[in-house]
Chains A and B, each alone.
Chain A
Amino acid sequence: MRIEGKGRVDRLAPVRFRFDGVEYRGFEGDTLASALLANGVRLVGRSFKYHRPRGVMTAGSEEPNALVEVIDGRQQTPNVRATVQEIYEGLEAKSQNRWPSLKYDVLAVNDLASRFLTAGFYYKTFMWPRKFWERIYEPLIRRAAGLGSLSGRHDEAEYEKAFAFCDLLVIGAGPAGLMAALQAARAGADVILADEAAQMGGRLLADSAEIDGKPAQDWVAEVLAELEAAPNVRLMRRTTVTGAYDGGTFGALERVGLHLAARPDLPRECFWRIVAGQAVLAAGAQERMIAFEGNDRPGIMTASSLRTYLNQYGVAAGKRVTIFANNDDARQTARDLMAAGVTVVAIIDARPDASVAEDCPVYTGAEVIGTTGRHGLTGITFRYHGGEVQLATDCLGVSGGWNPLVHLTCHMNGRPQWDGALAAFVPQAGAVPGLHVAGAAAGVFSLGHCLAHGAEVAAAALAVLGHKVAPIAVPQADEAGYDIMPVWEVKGSRRAWLDFANDVTTKDVRQAAQEGFASVEHMKRYTTQGMAPDQGKNSNIGALAVLADATGRGIAQTGVTTYRPPFSPVSIAAIGAGGRAEGFAPQRFMTSHSASVERGAPMIEAGLWYRPSYFPRPGEVTWRQACDREVAMVRSAVGVCDVSTLGKIDIQGRDAARFLDLVYTNVFSTLPIGRVRYGLMLRADGHVLDDGTTARLAENHYVMTTTTAAAGLVMRHLEFVAQAYCAGWEVRFISVTEQWAQFAVAGPMAKTLIDTLTQADLPFMGCALVQLGDVTARLFRISFSGEQGYEIAVPARYGEALFRDLLARAETLGGGPYGMEALNVLRIEKGFITHSEIHGRITAFDIGMAKMISAKKDCIGKGAALRPGLLEGREQLVGLRPVNDAMISAGAHLFAPGAEVKRENDQGYVTSVCYSPTLGGYLGLAFLQDGRARHGEMVRLVDHLRGIDLLCEVSDPVFYDKEGGLLRG
């Protein structure tokens, strides 16, 4: 029901929206909850377990009941708090966790069986017959559980992430937060003020308080005007600070477009990483419920939320309102309602000595013991002077006291402390370095004291940063104390709710204690209290108080469960912004990329790089046809392949040679200038880290190549070895992977091709600088194909031109480009290894390169490589050829012929296979126990997954040109 003359909504701006298919009207500035209440809609949801009817209970992000799905087009957002969602023209929302309709929900039958569905019932049953769990029980439970639904479609909307830095972050823009921001602003600090709500002011917008003798809202407007105008202040509205992390870093979620109809130019949300020199937590406090029988009916709300709906939205949540409280604060709700012309039927105050001076009946020392109304409250029963009184009422405002919002102070394992006078937990000082707590969040409850505290705490925080702070004047406001008598539950024989969303009652908590789940963590886990979307904000303190009572311990001794980030739930899309589609990882492209794509080459991922798989020709239907042709082309003419993805590290200095001797197993100091050597590098633990070639360009100048996969690893390794172990050595290195484009030219016509470019008569494993026009290139005579081969490197800006030029020259010789598939076949034919073989568990001994570990010197990893477990009983690299040239597969395991195929008899596995057009059959590389001694023997290859089981002949891993005459020739 809308109250004329109240609220901050814009009565001149009506907004139409739909809930469960029915159109309603609200005003700009309404939340979905305020607009529904204004329209008299009380039933908005169903609870998790018993599917009980539920209505709006609060006016903030802590709402446990009014969770809805917001629909936009084919997409929908589940579990949206109606109390936070602002309405906009065309907003469409629907209730969730009900079927077929909100009013008639079939699973409400669970409520009738509730006595069998108490805490932990599922641990004790659903065990027989065994097969029924997955087939029957679990699917039923899964379908009944859950709240809202995802659409199942990709979320294509925009989300953003951003960093922000400031001197002082103020969290919460209520009285304490505004004063803190004002103090900091005037001290010249760089300030960010973040607040969850659409409008700043916190409870000052919802209360009828006065500051300096004028309405508090006017004071808020003045302060905000000053802050808006200050160049050193950033105001972040609709921004929830969600977590406190190390180093003064805070996570924060800004709702950028959620209050507007879909706008393609706006992200829905932005997740901020705010790095603050210091921070002030002024998050305020949250009112809590009292557990009594039937306290979950629609129409039963927190007393302060009634005040918020009235003063901020101009909405009376009921026509005949009753208040049930244990503290003074709720009186203001009654007074505000009466002043607005709403009937307050009674105030039921649990405190025997409370004042009765109000303009409505006040029952002191009384407590509510029952309620009526299936889909909305119709009446209550309360106990008074030993008797029971019934009242007709459609709205009950409950106040069990206030809990300071200490959550962020606990994100680094801080524990809040029990304050008996406030009957609440207050923050532990210094629990998060640099985070200072002000106002109600610190247990300071009067408005006057909050204002002073905010300024004072901000000044203290700024002093830490070295700011000179002149204290600002604190305005005058009410400094009345907070009088409370703890009331956690009204004991009765029927169900009294603690956790409204997860349907946890006081009985569940007591049963948990009775069964030995007496630790607060056990109780939480056994009953599921606190695991619903409200994260226990409405139930944690009440539940532990009931547990304390049930176990005979005090509340302080019982303690709280751990508050963990986020403060309120955050969408995966917001924190994962930017990760969608290709955004997940960087994409690296070679200079030849366009030229390869033009030729129709499918580009495949190689780490972060994209490389051409093969270059199809007209008439070729399968990749194999192209691959076989390219292999034959390289073996018979000449092929060109971009190998720029290989890591290239430029190493210079007087000690460069000595340094290479330390990181490589073999010796590089003896390498003549103008020559290239293959090197093997070990990890500190003795396994093979990487292999590649290193060229000596000058006395103190080397260029190392690494595999594509290990380029970063090797760079990190070299830096470590140099900085940690080589103090005083003159050696420096830098990655030049992206500075040089490099192309392999391979095949019997390779030299012919190179001769058309430059005059360089290089020996095998020679290198030289050559001129290509005005460009100085590096030419290496190395081969990864087994053919006569060169690699030619030019500064990357000339890469594409050179690639196209090399292809044109190759094509005149009957050659052309080749891709990754052919490259792989060529290297398997030749028995060259890649990271398929050196997969991290492999030693030099395993791959037959033990002799490459120089006996004359030490090197990184040599000592560890000599451990007995790395020398005995190892699988060794071999070649495999299947009988009858049938297909074999990588990943297959090897067994002795005749042995039973089981783990105990496993003798090895296949790492790489290919069809070799050169040799006319399949080839494999494999690791086989005692493999080098078994050349010529047969082994059984079994790939269960692909249905392959056949015999192979074991051989040397080099299948093609064993003597190496071709690549030298």
Chain B
Amino acid sequence: MRYSGLKVITQGLFGNKGWGPVWRDPAPKGEYDAIIIGGGGHGLSTAYYLAKNHGLTNIAVLEKGYIGSGNVGRNTTIVRANYFLPGNSEFYSHSLKLWEGLEAELNYNVMHSQRGLINLFHSDGQRDAFVRRGNAMINQGDDAILLDREGVRQHLPYLDFEQTRFPIYGGLLHPRGGTARHDAVAWGYARGADQRGVDLIQNCEVTGIDIEGGRVVGVQTTRGSIRARKVGMVVAGRSGQVAAMAGMRLPIESHVLQAFVTEGLKPCIDHVVSFGMGHFYISQSDKGGLVFGGDIDFYASYASRGNLPMVEHVMEAGMTLMPMIGRAKVLRSWGGIMDMTPDGSPIIDKTPVDGLFIDAGWNYGGFKAVPASGWCMAHLMATGESHAVARRFRLDRFKTGHLLDEEGTGSQHNLH
């Protein structure tokens, strides 16, 4: 069914009885041309682009819970292309271009809102680092504007410019940065994949990966064994466990990242604001809740929940930067499991097992990557070759030293 304003009106007039299921609920077949393990944003977009760009439609997405039950439905919804290292730069740039056409592509309103992202800086040294970044963004063909203190004040008059511990020197404005409605991205890709014939199989946990003579031949699941000559592992947060089924040890450690949303408020924050000194970022959703977060809790965890030290740190950062939010009340906190790589950049690559591919290691930046990750993973699975914008996301780059360390903190999983 094609969605439109007219359809909403005609359905409304007839009691909304005609809305059909957004996706089918098929039973798994015995064999597919390709299997995607993981029905999150990345897995669904991989399936979508495999079908759309490469005509591969006899494929299945296997999801152990419900579609979009992982981090795609638990994040701070920020979409941006403000990386500066070659490798990341072109990839996120490509992703942002896909975002900009996503509603039309999917016929689904993912509410991509380019309200502008401002990264604040608080010293001359930080300014120079952001200028390097901004210039890299422009060299890549994206946008960036350097704001001085007064420039920041014009955009964000509610910040504390007088007393804050780390005075605001200025900011880097990325006008095309913004947010999107996270669940809608998963649902839109799921619907698009389903319409192209992809089987989305929920409540189907993969329990084993079948390998014969060094190549993948299928998977074992809680709903039976399924054969396939191509299998993609797209399970960020759980990558280590799924890869272990294929005998692999990954350069990944799982950590918990908390985020927070307040009760609904009338509009008060129009941009996405990022406060690096406090590792704090915030935006306001269309429903009015302030959506914000900070750093990971700094210990390996699969608990999808966090502890108070980081909760308090995030709120303290909010209070020093923009004390006007003090009386907003935190409605809900949650924790997502992050695949943390040693350099903070992702992996989209073949594995030592023929036919087995991996898309992993999104650290806490996976949401904005959903379109390009699927695009590139689909390209890799269909052609056997890395896509041009993802060729540096190699699995062996840590061993060879070809690192993509945007933060410069080094090979330590918890520092990115």
Contact = CB atoms under 8 A, between A and B. Distances in A.
B134 interface: yes
Interface centre among B13, B22, B263, B333, by most chain A C-beta atoms within 10 angstroms, is B263
B311 A123 contact: no
Most B Cβ at <10 Å: residue of A146, A581, A911: A146
A440 interface: no
Contact of A155 (B90, B134, B141, B323): B323
A156 B327 CA distance: 10
A903 interface: yes
B288 A123 contact: no
B316 A569 contact: no
Given A124-B8, A581-B163, A155 B13 contact: no
Contact of B267 (A133, A142, A871): A142
Contact of A516 (B25, B165, B307, B332): B25
B286 A141 contact: yes
A942 B135 contact: yes
Contacts of A554: none
B16 A507 contact: yes
A890 to B, nearest CB: 4
Interface in B63-112: 65-69, 73, 86, 89-90, 103-104, 107-112
Nearest to B203: A519
A104 interface: no
B4 A125 contact: yes
B328 A576 contact: no
A134 B114 contact: yes
A271 B181 CA distance: 32
A840 B123 contact: no
A953 interface: no
Given A134-B115, A572-B325, A584-B320, A143 B266 contact: yes
Interface in A873-913: 889-893, 901-903, 906, 909-912
A141 B114 CA distance: 15
Chain A contact surface mostly:
loop
Contacts, number: 372
Interface in B112-130: 112-115, 122-123, 125, 127-130
Nearest to A689: B410
Interface stretch (B49-57, B348-356, B379-387, B395-403): B395-403
B248 interface: no
A839 B132 CA distance: 13
Interface string B247-275: 00000000000000011111110000000
B160 interface: yes
A579 interface: yes
Contacts of A138: 111, 113, 286
A413 to B, nearest CB: 6
A892 B131 contact: yes
A39 interface: no
Interface string B272-309: 00000010000010111100000000000001110110
A687 B265 CA distance: 46
Report the contact-size class of chain A (Cβ under 8 Å from the partner).
Answer: 35 or more
B20 interface: yes
Contacts of A531: 287, 289, 331-332
A135 to B, nearest CB: 11
Contact of B323 (A156, A565, A569): A156
A100 interface: no
A867 B135 CA distance: 29
A428 interface: no
Nearest to B399: A867
A945 B288 contact: no
A573 interface: yes
B245 interface: no
Contact of A944 (B108, B138, B329): B138
A587 to B, nearest CB: 8
B323 A152 contact: no
Given A149-B266, A572-B330, A946 B318 contact: no
26 contacts: A77-B327, A78-B263, A97-B266, A125-B8, A133-B103, A149-B265, A155-B326, A411-B305, A507-B16, A514-B21, A519-B69, A521-B69, A522-B67, A525-B183, A528-B287, A565-B333, A573-B327, A580-B319, A582-B165, A584-B166, A864-B401, A867-B401, A869-B400, A903-B140, A903-B141, A944-B138
Given A124-B3, A531-B331, A685-B411, 6 more contacts: A79-B265, A155-B319, A155-B323, A243-B308, A906-B139, A942-B139
